[in-house]
């Protein structure tokens, strides 16, 4: 019985279930809410199943339709993918619960099918093992994300979505060109095969390979919105409906970063092998941290503040490139930890911003008007998520930052230490700017609308999750190191 | 795992859990809230007494939980930890009673008591921390838990004060974080050990160690209000009186001072710090802060602000005692942690009573208040004389040991600082006492408690608020009397086995200068 449970093809279920859910939601709009919620829950169950499988067998491979790597499509899962899938399942479930009451029926009909599509794309992305599949999932992800951004159809949302669409299409195109060039050079799109061949080819890499590297990296960086390619993010994330902003900031941006991380350390690291590019990526990360934080501090509207905070937090992720070069495991663990704790904390933040927006009808920070008394659960969710974003203990953000700081100090990278600390201080400044105003009374009080319990609790539980991560570092990091993918590039433990 | 391994965790939980439950309570469930608060405070008291007895007998109480690869969350009850834990436990109980009386019928009490409990949890965690990362964790938690108490009133002024508080403390926390990670990267451990854990660090790292020491002390100095990092403290006076009392006597300020003791004795080791040459600057800084705080206090007319500057001055006695680096001065510094707490909390309770009962906030309004509120002012007088260092009150013991220790290590300049500070203390406390006891009272008080007189409010309010001929509510009057009595007892009964002084001697022998 137990064996049968483990041996079910959970990875396939992770992709097929949300696809079926999307279809169902589209065909039966009346029950789309129930269908969506059930699908989200079934994804959580499937991830547990997959995790069990991984713990039993180490990494996991599944040849779709019985066709193996060189010809067919393979699904691969290791520690990092499992971590990303788990985060997606948990955050996705919370967002689904939130959305059941957030959207009015007219919008809900449009929201659920696209959201299920997006979940399918995310899960497929984290399970893909070849760069062309990654392209397909990336494109599906981008398009459904744009559609969700434009959901309300307001002028602001449409212009934000349009910018987002242009950016994401350009990025996918660049990535696809890179894929074509690599396929031309090596005759394969499977990451493992490519890694071997590129290792061999690295001393005399041709222009085509360099061009492929540049194009793919640029495309993925544009999608990850690293400074200075972040221009599309604040308007898109700031104008979308709250649950959409949450999933964009928490999951979608991380997906393209995940691909970059994976390709970088399996394909490109042996090729570049020089410090120049790593240093450049690190510099961009630093610039993102400082620029994003300063911009966040200057915002007067809550959702834009949170969106700029995402720009800053993505900067931290890019510090892995200079740090992982010689301090592999510590920096690696730190970045993985930051990814998941940021996903939980930032989605909690956007969801609580959505509550505040429903509650007061606006998101002007200075007019928050005694939210602490009147909407305590939401205020608590925002504050707890803020603690993790600032990197104060006890929270997942603290663990991630501690590991990164440790890696930076061991390498004597005091510039990075200074930037990380400064980023933390700025984060505290912009978060407490909001929290301070939740205590005071606004000059003009607004008629308060009621906010449903499921919306309040889903935000709060996500924030509590980000806190709990501060105590779970050992189990989470041991999951991450199931057949560490860094081992293939020699960066490993 | 034996029962002893869980006691420290239970001590932390005994205020955390009631606090979390209180957050969820409805505003009108006053009885349940009081019951939870008192249950937490009393059970903590029982557990701590248990541990004091056990440690005296030589038992070990230690909780270890995994936190990071190779780093654990360690809660350990050594003699020094217990000194601070018992101080915070006893004063928490007293302050809870006071706060219940003080906040009667004011809004948002669930939130207040919830964060109040979190604050004590963090303080106890700081005290019990067995390594630097656990210390850091609770130290930051303390910053976060006190912020809502400071902005509790929800006015624009309170918000500004809260922002100032955070600007100082979060920056301090960041310095502490850098120092801690750096230290960890050099040594691979952060475990507090008697005589420090740095003896294996090579000599080429000594400049780095000096920088780390400066970072750690700067980070802790913010909360300990060392000059020039003291700016937040007078502003934080905006908080309700029980918060000021707790902030000054136990929680925030003391966490910083306690951290300095830990860093000097259990991270660097006192001999090693002296060899590095980092203690002399710390002593000068502390001495300067002592004089500076007293001078500033002299010119404050607002009672709470004068007390705040007095705190800045008094807490640096602890840092001074540590930095003099001799066994006797150490006893003086460590015992002052307790003595200052007892005396200062008394003073703040009294200031709160004056404000709550008569609306007195300024010293210039205090003429003749001793006749109107004799018991409150009696407690205030004991606290003030203790601060000046008059025997037989607790403050005298601290100053005596500090002076003796300084002479013992040949640093006679400290005597001048102590004498100057005592003179200044007298200069800013005696006029208050003179006003209160010997000047004629005014026709009417600034804002007397409306329900004091019979018949002013009839009906249902009367029973609840009628204070009769008493000078103020029992819940407000008892706490300062109790703490004043304790301050007196700590000075009179110094030779009893569990007096603060005897315990400080035990710490000095067992932890700091063990043979």
What confidence tier does B515 reach under pLDDT thresholds 50, 70, 90? low
Both structure tokens of B125: 């965690």
Contacts of A238 (CB under 8 A, 6+ apart): A160, A245, A301, A303, A304, A307
- pLDDT value at residue A213: 86
**Chain A contacts of B65, Cβ < 8 Å?**
471
- pLDDT value at residue A314: 93
Q: Is the pLDDT of residue A369 over 70?
A: yes
CA–CA distance, B288 with B226 (Å, rounded to integer): 9
> For a pLDDT cut of 90, what percent of chain B falls above it?
20
Across the interface, whether the CB atoms of B151 and A439 are under 8 A apart is answered yes
- pLDDT value at residue B477: 85
Q: Is the pLDDT of residue A463 over 80?
A: yes
What confidence tier does B102 reach under pLDDT thresholds 50, 70, 90? confident
- pLDDT value at residue A204: 66
* Nearest-CA distance A443 → chain B (Å): 11
Number of CB pairs, chain A paired with chain B, less than 8 A apart? 82
pLDDT tens, A282-310? 999 999 999 999 999 999 999 999 999 99
| B223 close to B213: Cβ distance less than 8 angstroms | no
Across the interface, whether the CB atoms of B174 and A439 are under 8 A apart is answered no
- pLDDT value at residue B466: 46
- pLDDT value at residue A42: 93
Partner residue opposite A406 with nearest CB, options B23, B144, B184: B184
Strand, coil or helix: what is A56?
helix
In angstroms and rounded to an integer, the radius of gyration of the C-alpha atoms of chain B is 22
**Chain B contacts of A399, Cβ < 8 Å?**
68
Q: Is residue A228 part of a domain?
A: no
- pLDDT value at residue A490: 35
Across the interface, whether the CB atoms of A428 and B170 are under 8 A apart is answered yes
Both structure tokens of B420: 């100057």
**Chain A contacts of B136, Cβ < 8 Å?**
393
What confidence tier does A273 reach under pLDDT thresholds 50, 70, 90? low
pLDDT tens, B335-371? 898 889 899 999 999 998 888 888 888 888 888 888 8
- pLDDT value at residue B456: 41
> For a pLDDT cut of 70, what percent of chain B falls above it?
95
pLDDT tens, A129-164? 888 999 999 999 999 999 999 988 888 889 999 999
Q: Is B204 on the interface with A (CB under 8 A)?
A: no
Q: Is residue A14 part of a domain?
A: no
* Nearest-CA distance B114 → chain A (Å): 12
CA–CA distance, B230 with B182 (Å, rounded to integer): 25
Q: Is residue A146 part of a domain?
A: no
- The CA-atom distances, in angstroms, between B121 and each of A96, A189, A266, B112, B222 are 36, 56, 46, 14, 20
Q: What is the ipTM of this complex?
A: 0.89
| A15 close to A124: Cβ distance less than 8 angstroms | yes
- pLDDT value at residue A92: 94
Q: Is the pLDDT of residue B189 over 50?
A: yes
Q: Please classify residue B437 by burial: count the beta carbons closer than 10 Å to its beta carbon, then call 0-12 exposed, 13-18 middle and 19+ buried.
A: middle
Across the interface, whether the CB atoms of A437 and B68 are under 8 A apart is answered no
For A148-297, strand residue ranges (E) read: none
Q: Is residue A394 part of a domain?
A: yes
Q: Which residue has the tokens 């993102």?
A: A288
- pLDDT value at residue B459: 40
- pLDDT value at residue B491: 83
- The CA-atom distances, in angstroms, between A480 and each of A255, A404, B229 are 16, 16, 42
Q: Is the pLDDT of residue A486 over 70?
A: no
Q: Is the pLDDT of residue B208 over 80?
A: yes
Q: Is the pLDDT of residue A220 over 70?
A: yes
- pLDDT value at residue B467: 52
Choice among A98-102, B99-103, B505-509 with the minimum mean pLDDT: B505-509
pLDDT tens, A32-57? 889 999 999 999 999 998 888 888 87
pTM of the model: 0.91
Q: Is residue A48 part of a domain?
A: no
Q: Which residues constitute the domain of residue A449?
A: 274-493
Question: Going by DSSP bridges, is the β-strand pair B62-68/B71-76 parallel, antiparallel, or unpaired?
Answer: antiparallel
Tell how far CA A145 is from the center of its chain.
13
**Chain A contacts of B158, Cβ < 8 Å?**
439-440
Q: Is residue A136 part of a domain?
A: no
For residue A130, list its beta bridge partners. A190
- pLDDT value at residue B469: 54
Both structure tokens of A160: 């934000």
pLDDT tens, A315-329? 999 998 888 766 568
Across the interface, whether the CB atoms of B140 and A406 are under 8 A apart is answered no
* Nearest-CA distance A229 → chain B (Å): 29
| A337 close to A400: Cβ distance less than 8 angstroms | yes
Q: Is residue A437 part of a domain?
A: yes
Q: Is residue A218 part of a domain?
A: no
More confident residue, A126 or B505: A126
Q: Which residue has the tokens 């420090």?
A: B196
Across the interface, whether the CB atoms of A440 and B155 are under 8 A apart is answered yes
Q: Is the pLDDT of residue B502 over 50?
A: yes
Across the interface, whether the CB atoms of B185 and A406 are under 8 A apart is answered yes
pLDDT tens, B41-51? 899 989 888 88
pLDDT tens, B30-81? 888 888 888 888 999 898 888 888 888 888 888 888 888 888 888 888 888 8
Strand, coil or helix: what is B181?
helix
- pLDDT value at residue B221: 92
Across the interface, whether the CB atoms of A421 and B184 are under 8 A apart is answered no
Contacts of A106 (CB under 8 A, 6+ apart): none
Strand, coil or helix: what is B86?
helix
Where exactly are the structural domains of chain B? 284-451+482-515
- pLDDT value at residue B452: 44
Phi, psi of A150 (to 5 degrees): -85, 5
- pLDDT value at residue A341: 94
Mean pLDDT of chain B: 85
- pLDDT value at residue A318: 92
Across the interface, whether the CB atoms of B163 and A436 are under 8 A apart is answered yes
Q: Is B468 on the interface with A (CB under 8 A)?
A: no
Q: What is the largest CA-CA distance in chain A?
A: 69
Nearest chain B alpha carbon to A432: B163
Across the interface, whether the CB atoms of A432 and B67 are under 8 A apart is answered no
DSSP secondary structure code for residue B267 in this structure: I
Strand, coil or helix: what is A128?
strand
pLDDT tens, A176-205? 999 999 888 888 888 888 888 877 776 666
Mean pLDDT of chain A: 87
Average pLDDT over residues B209-235: 89
Domain count, chain A: 1
Q: Is the pLDDT of residue B250 over 90?
A: no
For residue B76, list its beta bridge partners. B62
- Other CB atoms within 10 A of residue A304 CB: 21
Average pLDDT over residues A16-23: 92
- pLDDT value at residue B453: 43
pLDDT tens, B434-480? 988 888 888 877 777 665 444 344 443 444 444 555 677 788 888 88
More confident residue, A425 or B360: A425
Average pLDDT over residues B203-208: 87
* Nearest-CA distance B327 → chain A (Å): 35
| B279 close to B323: Cβ distance less than 8 angstroms | yes
């Amino acid at each position: 019985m137990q064996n049968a449970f483990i041996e079910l093809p959970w990875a396939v279920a992770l992709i097929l279930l949300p696809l079926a859910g999307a279809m169902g939601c589209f065909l039966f709009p009346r029950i789309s809410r129930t269908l969506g919620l059930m699908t989200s829950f079934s994804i959580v169950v499937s991830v547990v199943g997959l995790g069990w499988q991984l713990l039993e067998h180490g990494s996991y491979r599944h040849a779709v339709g019985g066709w193996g790597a060189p010809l067919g499509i393979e699904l691969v899962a290791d520690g990092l993918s499992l971590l990303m899938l788990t985060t997606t399942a948990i955050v996705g479930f919370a967002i689904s619960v939130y959305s059941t009451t957030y959207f009015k029926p007219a919008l809900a009909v449009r929201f659920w099918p696209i959201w299920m599509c997006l979940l399918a794309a995310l899960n497929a992305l984290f399970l893909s093992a070849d760069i062309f599949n990654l392209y397909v999932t990336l494109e599906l992800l981008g398009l459904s994300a744009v559609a969700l951004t434009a959901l309300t159809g307001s002028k602001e949302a449409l212009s934000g979505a349009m910018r987002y669409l242009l950016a994401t299409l350009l990025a996918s195109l660049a990535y696809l060109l890179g894929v074509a060039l690599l396929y031309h050079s090596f005759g394969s799109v499977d990451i493992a095969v490519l890694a071997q061949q590129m290792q061999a080819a690295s001393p005399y890499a041709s222009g085509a390979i360099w061009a492929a590297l540049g194009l793919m990296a640029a495309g993925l960086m544009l999608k990850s919105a690293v400074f200075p390619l972040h221009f599309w993010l604040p308007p898109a994330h700031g104008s979308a409906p709250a649950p959409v902003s949450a999933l964009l900031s928490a999951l979608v941006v991380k997906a393209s970063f995940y691909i970059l991380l994976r390709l970088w350390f399996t394909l490109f690291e042996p090729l570049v092998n020089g410090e120049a590019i790593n240093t450049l990526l690190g510099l961009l990360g630093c610039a993102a941290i400082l620029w994003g934080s300063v911009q966040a501090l200057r915002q007067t509207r809550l959702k834009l503040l949170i969106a700029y905070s995402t720009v800053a937090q993505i900067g931290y992720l890019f510090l892995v490139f200079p740090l992982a070069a010689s301090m592999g495991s510590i920096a690696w663990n730190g970045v993985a930890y930051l990814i998941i704790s940021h996903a939980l904390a930032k989605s909690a933040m956007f969801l609580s911003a959505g509550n505040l927006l429903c509650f007061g009808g606006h998101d002007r920070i200075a007019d928050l008007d005694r939210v602490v008394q009147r909407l305590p659960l939401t205020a608590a969710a925002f504050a707890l998520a803020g603690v993790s974003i600032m990197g104060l203990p006890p929270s997942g953000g603290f663990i991630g930052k501690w590991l990164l700081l440790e890696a930076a100090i061991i390498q004597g990278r005091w510039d990075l230490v200074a930037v990380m600390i400064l980023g933390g201080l700025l984060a505290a400044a912009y978060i407490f700017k909001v929290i301070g105003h939740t205590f005071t009374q606004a000059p003009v009080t607004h008629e308060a609308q009621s906010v449903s319990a499921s919306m309040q609790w889903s935000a709060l539980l996500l924030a509590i999750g980000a806190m709990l991560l501060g105590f779970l570092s050992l189990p989470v990091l041991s999951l991450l190191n199931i057949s560490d993918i860094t081992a293939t590039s020699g960066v490993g433990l | 795992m034996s029962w002893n391994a869980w006691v420290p965790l239970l001590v932390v939980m005994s205020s955390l859990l009631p606090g979390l439950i209180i957050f969820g309570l409805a505003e009108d469930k006053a009885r349940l809230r009081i019951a939870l608060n008192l249950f937490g405070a009393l059970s903590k008291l029982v557990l701590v007494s248990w541990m004091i007895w056990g440690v005296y007998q030589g038992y070990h109480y230690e909780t270890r939980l995994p936190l990071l690869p190779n780093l654990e969350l360690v809660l350990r009850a050594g003699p020094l930890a217990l000194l601070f834990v018992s101080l915070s436990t006893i004063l928490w109980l007293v302050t809870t009673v006071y706060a219940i009386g003080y906040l009667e019928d004011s809004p948002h009490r669930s939130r207040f008591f919830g964060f109040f409990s979190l604050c004590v949890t963090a303080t106890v965690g700081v005290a019990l921390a067995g390594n630097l990362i656990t210390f850091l964790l609770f130290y930051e938690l303390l910053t976060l838990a006190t912020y809502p108490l400071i902005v509790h009133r929800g006015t624009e002024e309170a918000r500004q004060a809260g922002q100032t508080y955070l600007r100082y403390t979060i920056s301090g926390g960041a310095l502490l974080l850098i120092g801690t990670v750096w230290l960890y990267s050099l040594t691979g451990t952060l475990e507090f050990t008697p005589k420090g854990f740095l003896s294996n660090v090579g000599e080429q790292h000594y400049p780095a160690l000096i920088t780390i020491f400066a970072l750690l002390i700067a980070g802790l100095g913010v909360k300990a209000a060392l000059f020039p990092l003291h700016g937040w403290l007078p502003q934080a006076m905006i908080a309700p009186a029980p918060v000021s009392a707790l902030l000054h006597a136990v929680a925030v300020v003391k966490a910083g001072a306690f951290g300095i003791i830990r860093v000097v004795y259990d991270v660097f080791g006192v001999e090693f710090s002296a060899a590095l040459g980092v203690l002399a600057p710390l002593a000068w800084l502390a001495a300067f802060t002592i004089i500076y705080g007293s001078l500033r206090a002299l010119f404050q007319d607002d009672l709470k602000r004068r007390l705040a500057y007095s705190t800045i001055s008094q807490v640096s006695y602890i840092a001074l005692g540590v930095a003099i680096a001799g066994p006797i001065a150490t006893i003086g510094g460590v015992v002052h942690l307790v003595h200052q707490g007892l005396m200062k909390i008394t003073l703040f309770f009294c200031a709160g009573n004056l404000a709550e009962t008569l609306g007195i906030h300024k010293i210039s309004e205090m003429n003749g208040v001793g006749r109107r509120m004799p018991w409150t002012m009696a407690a205030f007088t004991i606290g003030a004389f203790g601060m000046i260092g008059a025997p037989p009150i607790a403050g005298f013991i601290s100053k005596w040991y500090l002076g003796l220790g300084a002479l013992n290590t040949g640093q006679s300049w400290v005597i001048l600082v102590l004498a100057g500070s005592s003179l200044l203390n007298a200069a800013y406390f005696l006029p208050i006492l003179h006003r209160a006891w010997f000047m004629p009272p005014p026709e009417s008080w600034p804002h007397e408690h409306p329900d004091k007189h019979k018949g002013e409010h009839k009906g249902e309010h009367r029973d609840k608020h009628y204070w009769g001929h008493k000078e103020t509510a029992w819940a407000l009057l008892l706490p300062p009397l109790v703490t004043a009595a304790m301050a007196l007892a700590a000075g009179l009964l110094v030779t009893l086995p569990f007096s603060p002084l005897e315990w400080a001697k035990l710490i000095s022998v067992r932890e700091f200068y063990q043979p």
